[in-house]
Protein backbone atom coordinates (compact mmCIF):
# COMPACT_ATOMS: atom_id res chain seq x y z
CA UNK A 1 0.00 0.00 0.00
CA UNK A 2 1.51 3.29 -1.13
CA UNK A 3 1.94 6.45 0.87
CA UNK A 4 -0.97 8.03 -0.96
CA UNK A 5 -3.49 5.42 0.12
CA UNK A 6 -2.22 5.43 3.67
CA UNK A 7 -2.61 9.19 3.79
CA UNK A 8 -6.13 8.94 2.46
CA UNK A 9 -7.05 6.34 5.01
CA UNK A 10 -5.62 8.45 7.79
CA UNK A 11 -7.60 11.46 6.61
CA UNK A 12 -10.79 9.43 6.46
CA UNK A 13 -10.51 8.01 9.95
CA UNK A 14 -9.45 11.43 11.22
CA UNK A 15 -12.60 12.96 9.75
CA UNK A 16 -14.65 10.10 11.12
CA UNK A 17 -13.32 10.41 14.63
CA UNK A 18 -13.46 14.19 14.63
CA UNK A 19 -17.03 14.07 13.39
CA UNK A 20 -18.17 11.52 15.94
CA UNK A 21 -16.53 13.37 18.80
CA UNK A 22 -17.96 16.73 17.75
CA UNK A 23 -21.39 15.21 17.29
CA UNK A 24 -21.25 13.73 20.75
CA UNK A 25 -19.90 16.80 22.48
CA UNK A 26 -22.06 19.51 20.95
CA UNK A 27 -24.84 17.65 19.18
CA UNK A 28 -25.31 16.38 15.65
CA UNK A 29 -27.35 19.27 14.25
CA UNK A 30 -25.25 21.88 16.01
CA UNK A 31 -22.09 20.58 14.38
CA UNK A 32 -21.29 21.90 10.93
CA UNK A 33 -19.29 20.17 8.25
CA UNK A 34 -16.93 23.13 8.29
CA UNK A 35 -16.10 22.42 11.91
CA UNK A 36 -15.27 18.81 11.21
CA UNK A 37 -13.13 19.75 8.25
CA UNK A 38 -11.36 22.46 10.25
CA UNK A 39 -10.61 19.98 13.03
CA UNK A 40 -8.73 17.77 10.57
CA UNK A 41 -7.35 20.79 8.74
CA UNK A 42 -8.81 20.06 5.35
CA UNK A 43 -11.20 22.09 3.24
CA UNK A 44 -14.95 21.56 3.35
CA UNK A 45 -14.83 20.41 -0.23
CA UNK A 46 -12.39 17.69 0.69
CA UNK A 47 -14.70 16.49 3.45
CA UNK A 48 -17.35 15.77 0.84
CA UNK A 49 -14.84 13.81 -1.18
CA UNK A 50 -14.55 11.36 1.71
CA UNK A 51 -18.14 11.39 2.93
CA UNK A 52 -21.05 11.98 0.62
CA UNK A 53 -22.91 13.72 3.41
CA UNK A 54 -22.67 14.78 7.00
CA UNK A 55 -24.98 11.90 7.85
CA UNK A 56 -22.62 9.35 6.40
CA UNK A 57 -20.07 10.15 9.08
CA UNK A 58 -22.47 8.81 11.64
CA UNK A 59 -23.77 5.91 9.59
CA UNK A 60 -20.88 4.50 7.60
CA UNK A 61 -19.98 2.03 10.34
CA UNK A 62 -23.50 0.62 10.67
CA UNK A 63 -23.64 0.46 6.88
CA UNK A 64 -20.49 -1.62 6.76
CA UNK A 65 -21.90 -3.88 9.44
CA UNK A 66 -24.97 -4.50 7.32
CA UNK A 67 -22.83 -5.48 4.38
CA UNK A 68 -20.90 -7.85 6.56
CA UNK A 69 -24.14 -9.30 7.89
CA UNK A 70 -25.43 -10.04 4.41
CA UNK A 71 -22.17 -11.65 3.43
CA UNK A 72 -22.17 -13.80 6.55
CA UNK A 73 -25.78 -14.81 6.00
CA UNK A 74 -25.06 -16.01 2.51
CA UNK A 75 -22.51 -18.45 3.92
CA UNK A 76 -24.75 -20.13 6.47
CA UNK A 77 -25.38 -23.79 5.65
CA UNK A 78 -28.48 -24.55 3.61
CA UNK A 79 -29.63 -26.98 6.25
CA UNK A 80 -30.62 -24.13 8.57
CA UNK A 81 -34.14 -22.82 8.29
CA UNK A 82 -34.38 -19.19 7.16
CA UNK A 83 -35.06 -17.68 10.56
CA UNK A 84 -32.44 -19.83 12.21
CA UNK A 85 -29.90 -18.69 9.68
CA UNK A 86 -30.79 -15.06 10.36
CA UNK A 87 -30.62 -15.50 14.10
CA UNK A 88 -27.32 -17.33 14.07
CA UNK A 89 -25.78 -14.80 11.76
CA UNK A 90 -26.87 -12.07 14.13
CA UNK A 91 -25.41 -13.91 17.08
CA UNK A 92 -22.14 -14.47 15.28
CA UNK A 93 -21.87 -10.80 14.37
CA UNK A 94 -22.61 -9.87 17.94
CA UNK A 95 -19.91 -12.20 19.17
CA UNK A 96 -17.43 -10.55 16.83
CA UNK A 97 -17.90 -7.28 18.69
CA UNK A 98 -15.95 -8.64 21.62
CA UNK A 99 -12.78 -9.42 19.80
CA UNK A 100 -12.25 -5.95 18.50
CA UNK A 101 -9.41 -3.48 18.71
CA UNK A 102 -9.95 -1.19 21.70
CA UNK A 103 -10.10 1.93 19.53
CA UNK A 104 -12.47 0.29 17.05
CA UNK A 105 -14.70 -0.97 19.82
CA UNK A 106 -14.95 2.39 21.51
CA UNK A 107 -15.68 4.02 18.18
CA UNK A 108 -18.55 1.63 17.61
CA UNK A 109 -19.98 2.27 21.03
CA UNK A 110 -19.68 6.00 20.50
CA UNK A 111 -21.60 5.70 17.27
CA UNK A 112 -24.26 3.66 19.01
CA UNK A 113 -24.64 6.29 21.69
CA UNK A 114 -24.66 9.04 19.11
CA UNK A 115 -27.38 7.48 16.98
CA UNK A 116 -29.47 6.57 19.99
CA UNK A 117 -29.51 10.13 21.26
CA UNK A 118 -30.20 11.74 17.89
CA UNK A 119 -33.71 11.25 16.51
CA UNK A 120 -32.63 12.19 13.01
CA UNK A 121 -29.98 9.47 13.07
CA UNK A 122 -32.34 6.88 14.48
CA UNK A 123 -34.49 7.53 11.45
CA UNK A 124 -31.50 7.34 9.15
CA UNK A 125 -30.40 4.01 10.53
CA UNK A 126 -33.93 2.81 10.01
CA UNK A 127 -33.62 3.86 6.41
CA UNK A 128 -30.44 1.82 6.15
CA UNK A 129 -32.17 -1.22 7.55
CA UNK A 130 -35.15 -0.89 5.28
CA UNK A 131 -32.88 -0.37 2.33
CA UNK A 132 -31.32 -3.75 2.98
CA UNK A 133 -34.61 -5.48 3.63
CA UNK A 134 -34.89 -6.23 -0.06
CA UNK A 135 -31.63 -8.14 -0.11
CA UNK A 136 -32.45 -9.97 3.08
CA UNK A 137 -35.76 -10.92 1.56
CA UNK A 138 -34.09 -12.26 -1.54
CA UNK A 139 -31.88 -14.55 0.52
CA UNK A 140 -34.74 -15.79 2.69
CA UNK A 141 -36.95 -16.44 -0.32
CA UNK A 142 -34.12 -18.31 -1.97
CA UNK A 143 -33.79 -20.54 1.06
CA UNK A 144 -37.51 -21.16 1.08
CA UNK A 145 -37.56 -21.86 -2.62
CA UNK A 146 -40.08 -19.10 -3.11
CA UNK A 147 -40.07 -15.76 -4.88
CA UNK A 148 -39.29 -12.57 -2.91
CA UNK A 149 -42.95 -11.52 -3.16
CA UNK A 150 -43.97 -14.47 -1.01
CA UNK A 151 -45.73 -13.19 2.07
CA UNK A 152 -44.23 -15.77 4.38
CA UNK A 153 -40.75 -14.76 3.35
CA UNK A 154 -41.66 -11.19 4.10
CA UNK A 155 -43.02 -12.16 7.47
CA UNK A 156 -39.81 -13.94 8.39
CA UNK A 157 -37.72 -10.93 7.43
CA UNK A 158 -40.07 -8.53 9.16
CA UNK A 159 -40.02 -10.46 12.40
CA UNK A 160 -36.27 -10.63 12.35
CA UNK A 161 -35.92 -6.94 11.60
CA UNK A 162 -38.44 -6.17 14.32
CA UNK A 163 -36.25 -8.07 16.73
CA UNK A 164 -33.18 -6.23 15.54
CA UNK A 165 -34.82 -2.86 15.94
CA UNK A 166 -36.16 -3.78 19.35
CA UNK A 167 -32.59 -4.66 20.26
CA UNK A 168 -31.45 -1.17 19.40
CA UNK A 169 -34.44 0.14 21.34
CA UNK A 170 -32.73 0.95 24.60
CA UNK A 171 -29.41 0.80 26.33
CA UNK A 172 -26.38 0.65 24.03
CA UNK A 173 -23.87 0.45 26.88
CA UNK A 174 -21.70 -2.61 26.45
CA UNK A 175 -21.75 -5.47 23.95
CA UNK A 176 -22.70 -7.89 26.71
CA UNK A 177 -25.92 -6.05 27.50
CA UNK A 178 -26.74 -5.94 23.82
CA UNK A 179 -26.19 -9.66 23.46
CA UNK A 180 -28.32 -10.29 26.52
CA UNK A 181 -31.14 -8.26 25.09
CA UNK A 182 -30.81 -10.14 21.84
CA UNK A 183 -31.08 -13.52 23.52
CA UNK A 184 -34.01 -12.42 25.64
CA UNK A 185 -35.92 -11.33 22.59
CA UNK A 186 -35.02 -14.59 20.94
CA UNK A 187 -36.38 -16.60 23.84
CA UNK A 188 -39.54 -14.56 23.72
CA UNK A 189 -39.90 -15.24 20.03
CA UNK A 190 -39.61 -18.93 20.74
CA UNK A 191 -42.46 -18.63 23.20
CA UNK A 192 -44.59 -16.80 20.69
CA UNK A 193 -43.98 -18.58 17.42
CA UNK A 194 -45.07 -22.01 16.28
CA UNK A 195 -42.28 -24.44 15.38
CA UNK A 196 -41.59 -24.47 11.67
CA UNK A 197 -43.34 -21.17 11.12
CA UNK A 198 -40.54 -19.95 8.90
CA UNK A 199 -40.62 -22.91 6.56
CA UNK A 200 -42.61 -22.67 3.35
CA UNK A 201 -46.09 -24.17 3.62
CA UNK A 202 -45.82 -27.72 2.28
CA UNK A 203 -49.29 -27.81 0.68
CA UNK A 204 -48.89 -24.81 -1.58
CA UNK A 205 -46.29 -25.94 -4.07
CA UNK A 206 -46.73 -23.05 -6.50
CA UNK A 207 -43.98 -20.44 -6.55
CA UNK A 208 -46.23 -17.39 -6.45
CA UNK A 209 -49.00 -17.06 -3.88
CA UNK A 210 -48.06 -13.41 -3.50
CA UNK A 211 -51.34 -11.63 -4.03
CA UNK A 212 -54.21 -12.86 -1.94
CA UNK A 213 -57.90 -12.79 -2.64
CA UNK A 214 -59.11 -9.23 -2.08
CA UNK A 215 -62.59 -10.57 -1.39
CA UNK A 216 -61.43 -11.61 2.03
CA UNK A 217 -61.36 -7.95 2.99
CA UNK A 218 -65.11 -7.75 2.68
CA UNK A 219 -65.66 -9.84 5.74
CA UNK A 220 -67.19 -7.93 8.62
CA UNK A 221 -64.64 -6.63 11.03
CA UNK A 222 -65.50 -8.85 13.94
CA UNK A 223 -65.31 -12.10 12.06
CA UNK A 224 -61.81 -12.35 10.73
CA UNK A 225 -60.32 -11.14 13.98
CA UNK A 226 -60.74 -14.50 15.65
CA UNK A 227 -57.80 -15.80 13.69
CA UNK A 228 -55.44 -14.01 16.02
CA UNK A 229 -57.52 -13.90 19.14
CA UNK A 230 -57.27 -17.63 19.63
Partner DNA sequence: TGTCATCTGTCATCGCGTGACATAAATTGC
Partner DNA sequence: GCAATTTATGTCACGCGATGACAGATGACA
Q: Are 172 and 178 in contact (CB under 8 A)?
A: yes
Return phi, psi of residue 141, to 5°: -60, -40
Q: Considering only residues 17, 48, 65, 149, which one is a binding residue for DNA as defined by CB under 7 A?
A: 48
Question: Using CB distances below 5 to 8 A depending on partner kind, what does residue 74 bind out of a copy of itself, DNA, none?
Answer: none
Considering the rule CB under 7 A, would residue 63 count as an interface residue with DNA? no
CA-CA distances (angstroms) from residue 87 to 84, 127, 128, 132? Answer: 5, 21, 19, 16
158 binds, among DNA, a copy of itself, none (CB under 5 to 8 A by kind): a copy of itself
Would you give the binding string for DNA spanning residues 11-30, x where CB under 7 A is met? x-------------------
- Scanning 4-12, 70-78, 79-87, 176-184 for contacts with DNA by CB under 7 A, the matching segment is 4-12
CB of 131 to DNA, least distance (A): 16
Q: Binding mask 27-46 vs DNA (x if CB under 7 A, - otherwise)? A: ----xxxx------xxxxxx
Could you say which of a copy of itself, DNA, none residue 213 binds, taking C-beta under 5 to 8 angstroms by partner kind? Answer: a copy of itself
Check: CB of residue 88 under 8 Å from CB of residue 76. yes
204 binds DNA (CB under 7 A): no
CA separation, residue 119 to residues 46, 82, 183, 189, 217 (Å) = 27, 32, 26, 27, 36
d(CA 116, CA 177): 15
187 binds, among DNA, a copy of itself, none (CB under 5 to 8 A by kind): a copy of itself
Task: Give the one entry of DNA, a copy of itself, none that residue 54 binds, where binding means its C-beta sits below a cut-off of 5 to 8 angstroms depending on kind.
Answer: DNA
Q: Tell me whether residue 44 or residue 184 sits nearer to a copy of itself (CB atom).
A: 184
CA angle 139, 72, 129 (to 5 degrees): 65
Chain-centroid distance, C-alpha 26: 26
In the complex, least distance from residue 121 CB atom to DNA, rounded to whole angstroms? 13
Give the integer Cα–Cα distance in Å for 78 and 212.
Answer: 29
CB distance 124 to 116 below 8 Å = no
Residue numbers at the binding site for DNA (CB under 7 A):
2-5, 7-8, 11, 31-34, 41-46, 48-50, 52-55
Amino acid sequence: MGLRERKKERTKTALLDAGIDLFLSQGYEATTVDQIAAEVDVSTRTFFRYFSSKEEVALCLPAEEQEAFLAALAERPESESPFTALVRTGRARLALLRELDETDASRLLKVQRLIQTTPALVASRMRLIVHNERRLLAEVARRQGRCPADLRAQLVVSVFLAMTMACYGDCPQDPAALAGRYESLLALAEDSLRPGWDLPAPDQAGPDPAVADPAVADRPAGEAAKVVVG
